[in-house]
């Protein structure tokens, strides 16, 4: 299916307040492009409590309009969709990677000033797809929805899930499966692998730009430290150790904990 450009897509105003600071970084870090449109999106589950906590209002939208929005066929007002580039150590090997089936719509600012990424997962191919189809099946998307919400309510830092829609299209895995798209919300999608991408380029100026951006966004409290780089590294190590302890205490197992997933 030929996808409409951002300009040709219907835009919907439902309370999103996008301020897309990540796009101020050099374009090595992302590619701007719209989600690939699907044939017949349909709502499966919508996290109304989370939408309310994000100051969003979908009451004026009927179910079909919601499905169009959460599939990427329509875009929320202010969205500037893009796919992120990053690298990673996968099973012991370094690989250049990126969002092969996801599009970030933008950074939503809530009334308390908190900034979160809003991402569609399973939303079509990108320049980073590496021969993948860019899609996702309904089972894994519902599983992520359920597990991420469970982890959140157990007090464990996690991505959140706002909605799941089916696409009206089958995808091929070992067999034909119904396609689906998850709307994921996270404090950001900056990864260990984002830093590995810059390290592979051996560009210290780019590395400094990414470090400064990440510290300003996530750890402004360390900006006064005598060695910000070491303070940043220590904070990341401490947070990841705490996170994994929390996983272990509830019996959660991360299936592929490569650096592109952390």
Mind telling me the catalytic residues?
Answer: 260
The backbone torsions φ and ψ at residue 92, rounded to the nearest 5 degrees and listed phi first, read 90, 0
DSSP β-ladder status, 11-12 and 75-76: parallel
Contacts by 233-240, CB closer than 8 A, 24 or more apart:
236/192, 239/157
Ranges of H-type helices in the chain = 48-53, 63-71, 138-153, 192-201, 204-218, 228-250
Give the CA dihedral 218, 223, 229, 235, nearest 10 degrees.
-50
The backbone torsions φ and ψ at residue 182, rounded to the nearest 5 degrees and listed phi first, read -100, 135
Residues for the chain: how many in total? 262
| Cα 118 from Cα 110, distance rounded (Å) | 12
Quickly tell me which residue has 């929805």 as its tokens: 145
Q: Tell me the DSSP string of 241-252.
A: HHHHHHHHHHT-
Helix, strand, or coil here: 128?
coil
């Amino acid at each position: 299916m030929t996808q409409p450009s951002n300009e040709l897509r219907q835009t919907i105003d439902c309370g999103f307040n996008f301020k897309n600071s990540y796009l101020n970084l050099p374009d090595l870090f992302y590619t701007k492009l719209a989600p690939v449109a699907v044939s017949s999106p349909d709502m499966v589950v919508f996290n109304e409590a989370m939408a309310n906590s994000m100051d969003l209002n979908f009451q004026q939208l009927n179910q079909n309009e919601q499905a169009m929005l959460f599939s990427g066929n329509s875009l929320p007002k202010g969205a500037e969709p893009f796919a992120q580039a990053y690298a990673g150590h996968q099973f012991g090997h370094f690989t250049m990677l990126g969002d092969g089936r996801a599009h970030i719509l933008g950074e939503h600012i809530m009334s308390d000033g908190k900034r979160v990424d809003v991402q569609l997962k399973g939303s079509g191919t990108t320049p980073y797809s590496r021969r993948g189809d860019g899609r996702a099946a309904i089972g894994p998307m519902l599983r992520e929805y359920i597990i991420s919400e469970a982890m959140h309510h157990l007090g464990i830092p996690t991505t959140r899930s706002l909605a799941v829609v089916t696409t009206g299209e089958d995808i091929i895995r070992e067999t034909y499966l119904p396609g689906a798209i998850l709307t994921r919300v996270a404090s950001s999608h900056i990864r260990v692998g984002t830093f590995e991408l810059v390290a592979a380029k051996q560009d210290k100026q780019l590395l400094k730009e990414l470090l400064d951006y990440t510290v300003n966004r996530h750890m402004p409290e360390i900006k006064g430290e005598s060695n910000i780089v070491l303070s940043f590294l220590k904070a990341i190590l401490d947070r990841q150790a705490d996170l994994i302890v929390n996983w272990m205490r509830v019996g959660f197992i991360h299936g592929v904990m490569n650096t592109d997933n952390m």
